[in-house]
Amino acid sequence: MAQNKYYSIDSLTDNEWKIALSDEFNKEYFQELLAKLNKRVDENVEIYPKPDDLFAAFNKCPLDTVRVVLIGQDPYHGPGQANGLSFSVNKNVPIPPSLKRIFQELEDDLNIRPSENSGGDLSKWAEEGVLMLNATLTVERGSPNSHKDYGWQQFTDFVIEYLNSKYENIIYLLMGNFAKMKCKNINRRDNYVISIAHPSPLCQRGFLGTKPFSRINSYLSSIDDPEIDFRT
């Protein structure tokens, strides 16, 4: 099957998310966002992730399965890296420094090592109910944050507020100040917020040793929900 050249809402395949996001897709800012993206495509600018993976975070974690929300900033901007899930990369791609530290903490916390078959691909986490949402869903090659003013922030703010207003007992894993600000209005009475430092090696303190994965599963156990299998 030929891959799509242009970005569109057609790449969102989960029906519940389609219904939840339909009004937002019809707003003028979102139509302008897609027009900007596809203008860059016509100018032969390389954009990540590829159009078919634009809504991978939603397709791989259907709305009625969301148990954990993990916020990233924007996609990896190197060739072949971004796969539509925050912090995740396609398998057979070298694992970025932040993800290396996430894996280090996962091993220290739960004694789980990443699968050699999956590499840095976190798709199995999505299937367990982890919504890995970048605040900005696209980026240009070699240019981090190049699409931060396209309108994605408004869109992902809506997604977070939608979850916050309609669901309870969701775990928000906020790594770093950006994610903390993005989710500053979360209803902490009815949800569980884990707020720690960003896993980047530039943040020397406040991430390693925080045991977020066991804390997630302890909370799920406390509400009689199945634990998340963090094997990749």
Average pLDDT, the chain: 94
Q: Examine residue 227 and state whether it is found in any structural domain, yes or no.
A: no
- Cβ-based burial of 8 (10 A; exposed 0-12, middle 13-18, buried ≥19): middle
> Tell me, what's the pLDDT at 112?
96
Rounded to an integer, the average pLDDT of 96-120 is 94
Determine which one of 74, 109, 225, 229 is catalytic: 74
Rounded to an integer, the average pLDDT of 61-72 is 96
pTM above 0.85, yes or no: yes
Which CATH number do you get for residue 152?
3.40.470.10
95-to-35, 78, 88, 100, 149 alpha-carbon distances in Å? 32, 12, 9, 6, 27
Cis ω for the linkage preceding 49 (within 30 of 0): yes
> Tell me, what's the pLDDT at 202?
83
- 139-140 and 47-48: which strand pairing? antiparallel
Per-residue pLDDT tens over the stretch 174-189: 998 889 999 999 999 9
> Tell me, what's the pLDDT at 2?
56
Q: Examine residue 129 and state whether it is found in any structural domain, yes or no.
A: yes
Q: Examine residue 63 and state whether it is found in any structural domain, yes or no.
A: yes
> Tell me, what's the pLDDT at 43?
96
Rounded to an integer, the average pLDDT of 1-24 is 91
96-to-36, 48, 66, 122, 125 alpha-carbon distances in Å? 29, 16, 25, 13, 18
* Residue 63 pLDDT grade (very low, low, confident, very high; cuts 50, 70, 90): very high
- Is the model's pLDDT at 4 over the cut of 90? no
Q: Examine residue 71 and state whether it is found in any structural domain, yes or no.
A: yes
Q: Please indicate whether residue 157 is annotated as part of the active site.
A: no
Q: Examine residue 232 and state whether it is found in any structural domain, yes or no.
A: no
Q: Examine residue 229 and state whether it is found in any structural domain, yes or no.
A: no
**Domain interval for residue 19:** 9-222
Q: Examine residue 231 and state whether it is found in any structural domain, yes or no.
A: no
Structural domain count, the chain? 1
Q: What sign for the dihedral angle of Cα 31, 148, 4, 43?
A: positive
Q: Examine residue 150 and state whether it is found in any structural domain, yes or no.
A: yes
- Is the model's pLDDT at 3 over the cut of 80? no
Angle at 82 between CA 32 and CA 149, to 5 degrees: 30
Per-residue pLDDT tens over the stretch 149-208: 999 999 999 999 999 999 999 999 999 888 999 999 999 999 999 999 999 888 778 899
Per-residue pLDDT tens over the stretch 70-99: 999 999 999 999 999 999 999 889 999 999
| The most confident of 1-5, 70-74, 136-140, by mean pLDDT | 136-140
Rounded to an integer, the average pLDDT of 139-149 is 95
Q: What is the DSSP letter of 6?
A: S
Q: What is the DSSP letter of 89?
A: B
> Tell me, what's the pLDDT at 203?
78
